[in-house]
Amino acid sequence: MTRGPGRWAVLSAFTVLAVVMLLPFVIVALNAVKSPAEYSSGGPLSLPHGLYLDGIVQFWQRVNFGQKLLNSLMISAAVAVLATLLSVLNAYALGIGRVRGRLWILVLFLLANTLPQEALVYPLYYIAKQVGLYDSRLAVVIIFTVIQAAFGTYLLSAVLGDFPKAIMEAAAIDGASRWRILWRVVVPISRPTLTVLMIFFFIWTWNEFFLPLVFLISNDTQTVPVALGVLQGDKMMDATMSSASSLLGIIPAVAFFLIFQRTLTRGVTVGAVK
């Protein structure tokens, strides 16, 4: 085993890699607060002389970023709640009720989750136009509720499959109806899992690009990733405004990561074992 200088060499190699991984974040942050003049004289590596926030403010106003944030928040929150609800109902029947054919139903749900969205998009687009839901946030909410719930059902059915029978029987003897047992017994006891699921659905929906790009075409309905993605390569953007737009895309994602860090790392690994 290496001792002394050897281990510091290993640590520096790992640190260098960490710096490389974080470099884009640092460079974006540095340049988002520079003025265009500063950028052209000092280049992307110079330290900013102070906080120049005009680039960020200009970009914010130009794309009405507040509205995009609100759209993303509303869509993701609605999907998180509705998809969790739908997963609970499905998993109650499959995991606890053990209805017949549940294995096939689960396989079907899992299949739907791995299906590429490209294979659904055109009919969905067509149907949405027919029923007047095209370019509405509601259409995106409905679609993602179902897609996320497909995974949620799969995961939650496994969790509820191990639900302690004694508690259920005790509640049934006390005369509680099945509906009451679901809300008064099963949901409260599974709350930790449901919270993880909800956070997952929120972040996954926030990160989605393909379907929102197709469905949300007007400025008032677009989400953050769609608004940024569509503007990419716009001739009107200079270096500082481009980095400002990158920064505005990064900040919410990093904020969610910091807020939900524990849940996420725990959840990522739970997902891997299932």
Partner 1 sequence: MNRSARRGYWLYLIPGAVLFLAVVIVPFLMNVAVSFTRWSGFGTPRWIGLANYERLLSDETFWASFRHNVALIVAMAIVPTLIGLVLAAALFDYIGKKFGARTASALRAAYYLPQVLPVAVAGVVWGWMLHPQYGALNEMLKAVGLGSLAENWLGDPDLALATVMAIMVWFQLGYPVVIFMAGLQRIDPALYEAAEIDGANWWRRFWHITVPQIRPETFVVLLTCTIAALKVFGPIFVLTRGGPGRSTIVPSYFSYLNFFEKANAGYGAAIATVLALIIVVITFLFLRVQERDT
- Give the residue with the Cβ less far from partner 1, 92 or 193: 92
112 lies in the site for partner 1, by CB under 8 A: yes
Q: Considering only the stretches 47-55, 138-146, 155-163, 189-197, report the one whose residues sit in contact with partner 1 under the rule CB under 8 A.
A: 138-146
Looking at 5, 103, 104, 114, which residue binds partner 1 (CB under 8 A)? 114
Quote the CA–CA distance of 102 and 156 in Å, as a whole number. Answer: 13
Please tell me the count of residues contacting partner 1 according to CB under 8 A.
Answer: 89
Stretch that binds partner 1, among 53-61, 144-152, 154-162, 188-196 (CB under 8 A): 144-152
Structure token digits, residue 179: 């509906």
Is 184 one of the binding residues for partner 1 (CB under 8 A)? no
- Taking the least distance from each CB to partner 1, the nearer of 41 and 219 is 41
Burial 5-37 (b: 16+ CB within 10 A, else e): eeeeeeeeeeeeeeeeeeeeeeebebbbbbbee
* Span 50-89, contacts to partner 1 by CB under 8 A: 86, 89
| Whether the Cβ atoms of residue 190 and residue 183 lie closer than 8 Å to each other | no
What do you get for the CA distance between the two ends of the chain, in Å?
A: 37
Q: Least distance (Å) from partner 1 to the CB of residue 170?
A: 14
- Measured distance CA(85)–CA(166) in Å, rounded: 24
CB 98 within 8 A of CB 143: no
User: Which amino acid would we find at residue 218?
Assistant: S
Residues 199-228 that bind partner 1 (CB under 8 A): 206-210, 213-214, 224-226, 228
Nearer to partner 1, 193 or 205 (CB): 205
Stretches 58-66, 155-163, 191-199, 232-240: which one binds partner 1 (CB under 8 A)?
232-240
Distance of alpha carbon 31 from alpha carbon 42, whole angstroms: 10
